[in-house]
Chains A and B, each alone.
Chain A
Amino acid sequence: MTAIDSSSSTAISHPTTAGSMTTKSTFLGTIAAYLMATDHTRIGRLLISFSAIFAIGAAAEGALLGAERISSSSSLVDAGILVQLFSAFRFDLIFAVGAPLMLGIAVAIVPMQIGARSLAFARGAQFGFYLWLFGVVLVGTSYLNNGGPGGGNADMVDLFLVGLGLVIAGLTVISASIATTVLTSRRAGMTLMEAPIFSWSALIASLSLIFTLPVMAGALIFVAVDHTYERATFGATQGVNAWIGWAFTAPQIFIIAIPTLGILAQIVATMTRGKQPLRAGLFVGVGLMSVTVIGSVTQSSFSANFSGGLSEIAKSLIPFLFFNAFSILGVLVVLGLCLLALKNEKAKPTAPFVPAFLGVGMVLTGMVGNAAHKISNFGLVNTVFEEAVLVYICYGVLLSSLGAIAHFGPRIWGREIPSTAVVGLGLLGFVATVLASLPYFIAGFADQPSGVADGFNYSGPAWLWNSLVAAGHSLMALVVLLSVALATKSFRSGKVSTATSADLYESVNG
């Protein structure tokens, strides 16, 4: 067992003593306590809350883009801002929703899991949160004023670059805080191999971000200096995507999905009372997924080509498998071991298991889709197929987060979310994810181009695929909204949790 009560949870349970700044539970006092929070649960909740708000916005953007593509003659959105909308959709899903959501859950949960009394460099993490939030606001402002990659307003493009820099800095600082906590603040006697699997996955994800985000920052500095002074070397506005676009696509987006494996394995460990066969295999599985870092840092994209002689096929297949199959193998290992543990213990699935399992399933589908996208014989490059990969991964992260909040939430708030609602929202989120992405897997094979809303014509029912995608994104916006409402209501006036710390944090001991 790994649970040790942390001082922070006591502070949460007694709002009147929350933080040293307030003595009375006033509205302003609560806001002040949040603004200057060093309590890891509060910093985590801030990250999760703002990510959820941005998730609704991102899903709305996705719905708008889907609706815009239903008919090539329709024009819901001005053609001039379509480029920004496509770019904003990607930015929001990855940097405003996926990454901060996973980091937020890690910030809130990891210190309690490993028996630390607080987050290492909690003020740094809070500073990182503000950097990230301010950066997202700047980027949003830039998009709204014709900035962003390909934008027409040069000042706003500069603002976008500054905002993106702040987002990178913020996420890096938060990642450093999480990694330091896991590496240095475990309770006495707990080795890294004894750490709960979610903490391990948070460590791997944090380190992966620490190794990849600065690479993006390096390119961003060149692009920003060039855009401010010269606008020639790095292709000015049009060059922004060329130099930093890799961070908005696979394999970089796989990094934000690493903690989904930890969430699932942790929930299963609780269900099976820690009886996990081949526990080290879970660690290996999570680690294998981080192989994707090599692809991100080197910005390598290896395609497989199955035409030609055997030697040509082998030449393209080996790097293709290294950069794509290892991370998929990692997910399969974790999934397989979780299912094996469930089978051995004949454990009955709990409510949080449903969205967490479906979330990992969606992430796996996205990763397999990405591998298919890299097989040049399929001819999927520059089609909407790649957009579907992004949506599968990021919505998978959202689903997994719902499972994490339902599972870990009672430990923070002391109250439970109704099981039926969690299962219902999980299933609804699953339907939304499939609707928002599967049609684009099909449309990708029909050569619907990515990043454009009109000018394409193919024999399939384009209107149907795009309508389904729009409906899927709308449904996901609704699911997120309902999840936020349900969590808020449940954690305020829901059933008091009877679970012990051991129930929620039991380590996965083989």
Chain B
Amino acid sequence: MNTSATALGSGPKVVMRRPTLVLSGLLSAVSAMLMGSMLAIWLDFRSKAPLRESSDGSMMLRDWLPENIKIPEVATNTMMMTFVITCVMAQWAVYSSRRNDPKHTSLALGVVLLTEIALINAQVAIYLQMDIAVRDGSYMMMFYAVTTTMLTMIVICMGFTLLALFRSIGGRAGDRDLVSAHALYCYAIAVIFAAVWFVVYVQK
């Protein structure tokens, strides 16, 4: 016996309003809140650090970044620039997808993937050049926590890129929702990295 309640007749066909793009927006919000929370705690610790004289004695500094640690600014600035390229390429993929151009969509997504690999490479280079251990102190522990979280976001973005790339190569170049969602997450990650770059690498 059918025990279900009497249902109304089906209404008009449900039109999904770009669910992947909306989900990507929510994922971006999650990532932003996560990193925002970590940077807020970072700044809180930094503001509570005692003052010390700079090495040339000209000014007072917060005793937060240990004196023997040098942040490799070339690598960190390169990362920031690479993120700009990532965003441009992601937008190129959207542009190509809108014009049903699978070759350029795949090419753009391939370049995005390459830039993401470059970002990971740059982050590893930063770790190697800084040569600090996570157990060495508060700064080091928090530095690794923030940067590895950022690295995880880049890896998630990479997974997203791979998904979009495979679908594009597989003949779904016109899947604008996914490509747009991918681009949105790339922008979000770029903005989040800009905050990390400024707070952790520039302001130190």
Spell out A's residues near B (CB within 8 Å): 1, 3-5, 9-10, 12-14, 115-117, 120-121, 172, 176, 179-180, 183-189, 210-219, 221-222, 225-226, 229-230, 232-233, 297, 410-411, 413-415, 496-502, 504
In-complex Cβ contact of A184 among B18, B41, B142 (8 A): B18
- How long is the Cα–Cα vector from A410 to B4 in the complex, in angstroms? 8
Closest A residue by C-beta to B39 = A218
Q: CB-CB < 8 A to A176: which residues of B? A: 23, 26-27, 30
Q: Using A1-B8, A176-B30, A185-B19 as known contacts, say yes or no to A218 and B142 having CB atoms under 8 A apart.
A: no
- How long is the Cα–Cα vector from A183 to B3 in the complex, in angstroms? 31
**Binary flags per residue of B35-77, CB closer than 8 Å to A gives 1, else 0:** 1111011000100000000000000000000000000000000
- How long is the Cα–Cα vector from A211 to B26 in the complex, in angstroms? 9
Q: Is the CB of B141 within 8 A of A230?
A: yes
- How long is the Cα–Cα vector from A3 to B14 in the complex, in angstroms? 13
Closest A residue by C-beta to B145 = A225
Q: Is the CB of B145 within 8 A of A121?
A: no
Nearest CB of chain A from residue B27's CB, rounded to whole Å = 7
Shortest Cβ-Cβ A-B pairs, 6 listed: A218-B37, A414-B3, A5-B7, A13-B4, A214-B33, A214-B34
Spell out B's residues near A (CB within 8 Å): 1-19, 22-23, 26-27, 29-31, 33-38, 40-41, 45, 134-135, 137-138, 141-142, 144-145, 149
Q: Is the CB of B33 within 8 A of A188?
A: no
Nearest CB of chain A from residue B203's CB, rounded to whole Å = 18
Q: CB-CB < 8 A to B149: which residues of A? A: 218, 221
- How long is the Cα–Cα vector from A356 to B34 in the complex, in angstroms? 34
Q: List 21 A-B residue pairs with CB atoms under 8 Å apart, sorted by A's residue number.
A: A3-B7, A5-B7, A12-B4, A116-B14, A176-B26, A179-B22, A180-B19, A184-B18, A185-B17, A187-B12, A210-B33, A215-B34, A215-B37, A218-B33, A218-B41, A221-B38, A226-B145, A230-B138, A414-B5, A497-B3, A501-B5
- How long is the Cα–Cα vector from A216 to B34 in the complex, in angstroms? 8
Q: CB-CB < 8 A to A116: which residues of B? A: 14
Q: CB-CB < 8 A to A1: which residues of B? A: 8
Q: CB-CB < 8 A to A225: which residues of B? A: 134, 141, 144-145
Q: Is the CB of B37 within 8 A of A188?
A: no
Q: Using A184-B22, A230-B135 as known contacts, say yes or no to A217 and B15 having CB atoms under 8 A apart.
A: no
Q: CB-CB < 8 A to B23: which residues of A? A: 120-121, 176, 180
Q: Is the CB of B13 within 8 A of A188?
A: yes
- How long is the Cα–Cα vector from A359 to B16 in the complex, in angstroms? 34
Q: CB-CB < 8 A to B41: which residues of A? A: 218-219, 222
Closest B residue by C-beta to A224 = B145
Q: Is the CB of B11 within 8 A of A115?
A: yes
- How long is the Cα–Cα vector from A192 to B9 in the complex, in angstroms? 22
Nearest CB of chain B from residue A233's CB, rounded to whole Å = 4
Extra pairs beyond A185-B19, A414-B5 (17, CB < 8 Å): A4-B7, A5-B7, A9-B4, A187-B14, A210-B26, A210-B29, A215-B36, A217-B34, A218-B33, A219-B41, A225-B141, A225-B144, A229-B135, A230-B134, A410-B5, A413-B3, A500-B6
In-complex Cβ contact of A414 among B4, B8, B9, B134 (8 A): B4
Q: CB-CB < 8 A to B29: which residues of A? A: 210-211
- How long is the Cα–Cα vector from A210 to B30 in the complex, in angstroms? 6
Q: CB-CB < 8 A to B4: which residues of A? A: 9-10, 12-13, 414
- How long is the Cα–Cα vector from A216 to B40 in the complex, in angstroms? 12
- How long is the Cα–Cα vector from A108 to B45 in the complex, in angstroms? 44
- How long is the Cα–Cα vector from A413 to B4 in the complex, in angstroms? 6
- How long is the Cα–Cα vector from A10 to B8 in the complex, in angstroms? 13
Q: CB-CB < 8 A to B33: which residues of A? A: 210-212, 214-215, 218, 297
Q: Is the CB of A233 within 8 A of B138?
A: yes
Nearest CB of chain B from residue A5's CB, rounded to whole Å = 3
Q: Is the CB of A233 within 8 A of B142?
A: yes
Q: CB-CB < 8 A to B18: which residues of A? A: 184
Closest A residue by C-beta to B26 = A176
Q: Using A10-B4, A12-B4, A229-B135 as known contacts, say yes or no to A180 and B14 having CB atoms under 8 A apart.
A: no
Q: CB-CB < 8 A to B134: which residues of A? A: 225, 229-230
Q: Is the CB of B34 within 8 A of A218?
A: yes
Q: CB-CB < 8 A to B37: which residues of A? A: 214-219
Q: CB-CB < 8 A to A414: which residues of B? A: 2-5
- How long is the Cα–Cα vector from A221 to B34 in the complex, in angstroms? 10
Closest B residue by C-beta to A218 = B37
In-complex Cβ contact of B5 among A211, A219, A500 (8 A): A500
- How long is the Cα–Cα vector from A5 to B19 in the complex, in angstroms? 21
- How long is the Cα–Cα vector from A305 to B83 in the complex, in angstroms? 49
Q: Is the CB of B38 within 8 A of A218?
A: yes
Q: Is the CB of A218 within 8 A of B5?
A: no
- How long is the Cα–Cα vector from A187 to B141 in the complex, in angstroms? 50
- How long is the Cα–Cα vector from A222 to B29 in the complex, in angstroms? 20
- How long is the Cα–Cα vector from A164 to B161 in the complex, in angstroms? 29
Q: Is the CB of A115 within 8 A of B141?
A: no
Q: CB-CB < 8 A to A222: which residues of B? A: 38, 41, 141-142, 145
Q: CB-CB < 8 A to A497: which residues of B? A: 3, 5
Q: CB-CB < 8 A to A221: which residues of B? A: 38, 145, 149
Q: CB-CB < 8 A to A212: which residues of B? A: 33
Q: CB-CB < 8 A to A214: which residues of B? A: 30-31, 33-34, 37
Q: Using A179-B26, A230-B134, A502-B8 as known contacts, say yes or no to A496 and B16 having CB atoms under 8 A apart.
A: no
- How long is the Cα–Cα vector from A12 to B33 in the complex, in angstroms? 38
- How long is the Cα–Cα vector from A115 to B15 in the complex, in angstroms? 10
Q: Using A219-B37, A221-B149 as known contacts, say yes or no to A499 and B5 having CB atoms under 8 A apart.
A: yes
Nearest CB of chain B from residue A43's CB, rounded to whole Å = 16
Q: Is the CB of A232 within 8 A of B138?
A: yes
- How long is the Cα–Cα vector from A138 to B10 in the complex, in angstroms? 44
Q: CB-CB < 8 A to A496: which residues of B? A: 1, 3
Q: CB-CB < 8 A to A233: which residues of B? A: 45, 138, 141-142
Q: Is the CB of B30 within 8 A of A117?
A: no
Nearest CB of chain A from residue B157's CB, rounded to whole Å = 16
Closest A residue by C-beta to B141 = A230
Q: Is the CB of B7 within 8 A of A9?
A: yes
- How long is the Cα–Cα vector from A14 to B1 in the complex, in angstroms? 9
Q: CB-CB < 8 A to B142: which residues of A? A: 222, 233
Closest A residue by C-beta to B18 = A184
- How long is the Cα–Cα vector from A13 to B134 in the complex, in angstroms? 56
Nearest CB of chain B from residue A113's CB, rounded to whole Å = 12
Q: Which of B37, B138, B142 has the most CB of A within 10 A?
A: B37
Q: Which of B1, B2, B5 has the most CB of A within 10 A?
A: B5
